[in-house]
Amino acid sequence: MSAVPGTSLESHLRGRLEDKPLLLMTHLVVGYPSLEANWTMLEAMDAAGVDLVELQLPFSEPIADGPAFVKANHDAIEAGMGWEVYFDFAARAAARFSFPIVFMGYYNSVFQMGAQRYCARLAEAGMKGFILPDLPLEEASQLTALAREHDLSPVFIMSPTNSQERLNEIGRQASGFVYCTARRGVTGRKTDLSQGVAEFMQRCRTATPVPLGLGFGIRTAADVRNVRGLADIAIVGTAGLDAWQELGEEGYRLFMKGLVAETC
Amino acid sequence: MPEVLHETLAELRDAFDDARRDPSFWNSYVALMANYAGRPTPVTYCDNLTRRFGGARIYVKREDLNHTGAHKANNVMGQGLLVQRMGKRRVIAETGAGQHGVATATMAARLGLECTIYMGAEDVERQHPNVFWMRQLGAEVVAVTDGTRTLKDAINAALRDWADSMADTHYVLGTVCGPHPFPELVTYFQTIIGYEARRQMLEVAGTLPSRVYACVGGGSNASGIFTGFLDDPAVELVGVEAAGKGIATGQHAARLAGGQGRTGVAQGYKTVFLQNEEGLMRDTHSVAAGLDYIGVGPMLAHLHQQGRVRFESATDAEVVDALRVTMRSEGIIPALESAHAFAGAFREASGLSSDDTILINQSGRGDKDIFTVADALGDEGWVDFIRHKAEGYAR
């Protein structure tokens, strides 16, 4: 079984995986708490050696997100966050930092922009792929085809509730990497990685040869350590935002370093 | 739709398809609605309204007489039967005006299911009597404080619950929106309104209606009554949306009638939404909490596009007038949502001849709106009563 021909994102990740056993992807909601804070977060991620970053474009109905990101989305919109600001920020980040950047957001933004224009704007901004948690595979074919023309990887999601047949179907379309959610539900809540996650990751592994990311409830350095051997990429989202808010700028830097230390 | 719900939606599709293929299922549903909910609800000829407007003869389909006081029970009891077939033990639902929440809490009590209702915090304030009844019926009511704190935010909260709880929980979506199969499934159960109404019009009026009016929030009562007449091309179907403070003010919930809606994809489905050019959903407004919503059933949007359903809108002020007239003329108290359909019909009745008949779907009763209506009518007696009551509690 072979997946979609390798994209530059996938080759990049494979290259990194030759040097270390696990990669780290971190996340931020662009515009929350502010663009200045976002830039400082990116500098901290870069200094710590984060491997991959997702930049979320705020949406008014973020149904896959938990309370912390829901608030972040709504507050960023309230503060006037829009496409121009987002892509300007993403382009500056892609030019300044060495880690690849992927888009994260909801499908209505893509639908309103138009798939062609959306892919062009991502590529122009120097982004490498996109995660659209509310776009099912069967609705994605046109966008996926356009993405390939722009060397963008559509990152699909695998869930523990999926049948093996469904995982295989997703696996056949996968590119870049797959975002495996460690549990049911939405972002932000702690996950007990000893509860069936290894078996789920095994099912994902048989479904696709592309690198596997594991997210949802990966909150601490210890959690990242536990992802070793389970997945290729540990994904930390909400915990990063919590660290920023609870620990401040310096604490955030240390938090990022602590996470990255467990990947080497 | 998030991938985590893929198999759950497939399970629901299968259960629904099995039920539809089972010839006894529809009959068991109709029997349940007869002995528990009081169906069929009548069609009432309104002679006083007819004479007042001096045009078409006016008939009203009385969903206000359905158990729990609105058409919502039709969908809810039907989904309750599916829950039993799927063997789940808990139900969740969103609610705007609270009618769907009360209906769901009622069904859960009757069928012995746990029940959680998500309701926008703003709606909890507007519709507290319904919150009271949901809790009395044994449901947990969660006030949703995200976003605009109305129906759309309650739907998001219910979807988030379901993304975690689907193994033993069914989401009783209250309207003809959301991911497949909900638009089709909810329409299927609400079609009981249209089937009854068509037969009753032939019996009571001796003819099919020239026009059928229904208010449209998500669109479940409209889908239900319109479906009964879809194959009768001479019957004009009119959906009435909430123009709120006026379409020009931007404070409304008219997706189709105002021409301000745009096609988009959110909350698991594609339809016409009130959104800005970057796809962010707009704030909506209506005096009727049940119409205060960003999207409209995809099948209704399609019928609009095809020209089969005409869409109009009515402002808060027109709606309160229509409510007042209906109460005084006929002793019927429509819900503020339903009063939109009355307002739309009243505007057009005098332009028709006495050979014409019009049918208004009264989707629910207005008792629940006592606080909002009392405010809209500026009723001082009511204000005095509340003041005295509050003083009594303060003592």
Cβ(B183)–Cβ(B220) below 8 Å:
no
Q: pLDDT tens digits, residue range A7-23?
A: 799 999 999 999 999 99
Q: Evaluate if residue A180 carries a pLDDT over 80.
A: yes
Name the closest residue on chain A to residue B8, using Cα atoms: A161
CB contact under 8 A, B268 and A63: yes
Confidence band of A193 (pLDDT split at 50, 70, 90): confident
* Average pLDDT over every residue of A134-157: 96
Residue B307 CB partners (closer than 8 Å, separation 6+):
none
- Which residue type does B121 have? A
CB contact under 8 A, B163 and A185: yes
The active-site residue out of A10, A51, A54, A262 is A54
Annotated active-site residue A138? The verdict is no
CB contact under 8 A, A108 and B156: no
* Average pLDDT over every residue of B62-73: 97
Contacts of A137 in chain B (CB under 8 A): 3
Cβ(A252)–Cβ(A244) below 8 Å:
yes
Cβ(B274)–Cβ(B281) below 8 Å:
yes
Which of A63, A110, A139, A178 would best serve as a mutation to test chain B binding (most B beta carbons within 10 A)?
Answer: A63
Contacts of B1 in chain A (CB under 8 A): 134, 136
Cβ(B146)–Cβ(B157) below 8 Å:
yes
**Shortest Cα–Cα distance, A132 to chain B (Å):** 9
From the list A108, A133, A158, which residue is nearest B264 (CB)?
A108
pLDDT at residue A6, as a whole number? 52
Residue B94 CB partners (closer than 8 Å, separation 6+):
B100, B101, B117, B118, B119, B151, B154, B155, B157, B158, B173, B174
CB contact under 8 A, B160 and A166: no
Q: pLDDT tens digits, residue range B118-169?
A: 999 988 987 888 999 999 999 999 999 988 888 899 999 999 999 999 999 9
CB contact under 8 A, A162 and B8: no
Cβ(A213)–Cβ(A233) below 8 Å:
yes
- Tell me which residue of B335, B46, B361, B36 sits closest to B197, measured CA to CA: B361
Contacts of B2 in chain A (CB under 8 A): 63-64, 133-134, 157, 159
Share of chain B above pLDDT 90, in %: 91
pLDDT at residue B4, as a whole number? 93
Name the closest residue on chain B to residue A67, using Cα atoms: B146
Q: pLDDT tens digits, residue range B256-308?
A: 998 999 999 999 999 999 999 999 999 999 999 889 999 999 999 999 999 99
**Shortest Cα–Cα distance, A133 to chain B (Å):** 6
Q: pLDDT tens digits, residue range B44-53?
A: 999 999 999 9
CB contact under 8 A, A136 and B146: no
Name the closest residue on chain B to residue A74, using Cα atoms: B147
Q: Look up residue B271 and give its two tokens.
A: 């339809």
From the list A113, A159, A163, which residue is nearest B4 (CB)?
A159
Cβ(A180)–Cβ(A213) below 8 Å:
yes
Residue A86 CB partners (closer than 8 Å, separation 6+):
A30, A31, A55, A57
CB contact under 8 A, B278 and A166: no
- Tell me which residue of B377, B364, B373 sits closest to B95, measured CA to CA: B364
Structural domains of chain A in order of their starting residue, each with its CATH number: 8-261 (3.20.20.70)
Q: Evaluate if residue B372 carries a pLDDT over 90.
A: no
pLDDT at residue A185, as a whole number? 86
Q: Evaluate if residue A188 carries a pLDDT over 80.
A: no
**Dist. CA A10–CA A211, nearest whole Å:** 7
- Tell me which residue of A72, A22, A81 sits closest to A211, measured CA to CA: A22
From the list B3, B159, B268, which residue is nearest A159 (CB)?
B3
Beta strands in A7-73, from DSSP E residues, in sequence order: 23-29, 52-56
Neighbours of A198 (CB within 10 A): 12
Q: pLDDT tens digits, residue range A22-53?
A: 999 999 999 999 999 999 999 999 999 999 99
Confidence band of B77 (pLDDT split at 50, 70, 90): very high
Query: What DSSP line would sit under B253-319, residue for residue?
Result: B-SSTTS--EEEEETTEEEEE-B-TTSPBPP---SSGGG--SB--HHHHHHHHHTSEEEEEEEHHHH
* Average pLDDT over every residue of A248-256: 98
Determine if the pTM surpasses 0.90.
yes
Structural domains of chain B in order of their starting residue, each with its CATH number: 3-37+71-182 (3.40.50.1100), 43-69+190-375 (3.40.50.1100)
Half-sphere exposure of B203 (CA within 13 A, CB side): 9
Q: Evaluate if residue A2 carries a pLDDT over 50.
A: no
Name the closest residue on chain A to residue B270, using Cα atoms: A108
DSSP assignment letter at B334? B
CB contact under 8 A, A184 and B159: no
CB contact under 8 A, B275 and A77: no
As for the ipTM of the complex, it is 0.93
**Shortest Cα–Cα distance, A174 to chain B (Å):** 14
Please report the number of interchain residue pairs, chain A to chain B, with beta-carbon separation below 8 angstroms.
100
Contacts of A64 in chain B (CB under 8 A): 2, 163
CB contact under 8 A, B164 and A74: no
For chain B, give the mean pLDDT: 96
pLDDT at residue A1, as a whole number? 38
Which of A60, A170, A238 would best serve as a mutation to test chain B binding (most B beta carbons within 10 A)?
Answer: A60
